[in-house]
Amino acid sequence: MHLAKGKEYHFLNFQLVPDQARLLRQGVDVPLAPKTLHFLCLLIHAGNAVVSRDRLFDVLWEGRAVSDESLAQVVAQCRRALGDSAAQQKVIKTVPKLGFRFVPELRVVSAEEPTQL
């Protein structure tokens, strides 16, 4: 993943822990397929910038030819996991003909050090 090591990304009532490949909602794991998690990480890494469809295809499918439907499924799975939808677009904004943008304010914090006994 392309996010900083040892960092957690907090937004809305979610916490993304890339080092552990985990997304949590209020401390409870939200299951995400690896490609869907990678998609979310790409959007968060871009900040408020648009991530182009071409970049998503290149990174997520490593240049393999796939249909637009493959990307649409990943976006839909991610939105569903985040309580978002194509109608609302409160978390993932579609930028027509360009790509996608992460909407919520993001707080980056250092991952908590494990406590020693």
Q: What is the pLDDT of residues 43-79, one digit of tens each?
A: 999 988 999 999 999 999 997 989 999 999 999 999 9
User: Which pTM was predicted?
Assistant: 0.89
Contact indicator for 81, 30 with CB cutoff of 8 Å: yes
- Residue 83: Cβ within 10 Å count: 14
Domains of the chain, earliest start first: 7-110 (1.10.10.10)
